[in-house]
Amino acid sequence: MSKKKPKQSSNQIASNKRASFDFKLLDDFEAGISLTGWEVKSLRAGKVQLTDSYVIMKNGEAYLLGSQITPLATASTHFVTDPTRTRKLLLHKKELARILAAIQQKGQTCVCTGLYWKGHLVKAKIALAQGKQAHDKRDATKERDWNRQKQRIVRENVKQ
């Protein structure tokens, strides 16, 4: 009898694909997040949305705004839950200084591009970003369509 391999589970909780479409991502950081117990349970169930989330700096600390963690049905009976509360990001002082300096430049912002598990901890992948113009977005769409078409052509030639 052959042994069954354990199922590989992805450590990815959620990703923000909209951020890479709307922004040109410049520099990535890994940050811890300060969460409560019900939020961790909801993350395990996959009830999180990052589409409009961004990072602000206040009093030398970074906070995640706009992320929505929907509470489970059982969690809302015990205490008050706020799905869109501001969550503190845990970063080193040098990283905070780099992010603050970049945000103060014109046209740059900081967005959350994903959440993932690192062991038993929840980590956020944040990126410094610069806004794209409408023509840049059209170019990205054209390039993506062309890459798909190239793959189809190569696949058809390989079959013959």
Per the domain annotation, does 47 fall within a domain? yes
Q: Is residue 145 part of a domain?
A: no
Determine, yes or no, domain membership for 142: no
What is the reported pLDDT for 2? Answer: 55
What percent of the chain has pLDDT above 70?
A: 91
Counted domains in the chain: 1
pLDDT score for 9: 57
In the predicted model, what is the mean pLDDT of residues 6-30?
83
pLDDT above 90 (res 93): yes
Instruction: Tell me: pLDDT of 127 over 70.
Output: yes
Q: For residue range 141-157, list pLDDT tens digits in order.
A: 888 899 999 999 998 88
Is residue 137's pLDDT more than 90?
Answer: no
CATH number at residue 30: 2.40.280.10
Confidence of residue 82 (pLDDT cuts 50, 70, 90): confident
Q: What is the per-residue pLDDT for 20?
A: 84
Q: Which domain holds residue 101?
A: 12-132
Would 147 be classed as within a structural domain? no
pLDDT the model gives residue 37: 85
Three-state SS letters, the chain = CCCCCCCCCCCEEEECHHHHHHEEEEEEEEEEECCCHHHHHHHHCCCEECCCCEEEEECCEEEEECCEECCCCCHHHCCCCCCCCCEEEECCHHHHHHHHHHHHCCCEEEEEEEEEEECCEEEEEEEEEEECCHHHHHHHHHHHHHHHHHHHHHHHHHHC
Q: Is residue 57 part of a domain?
A: yes
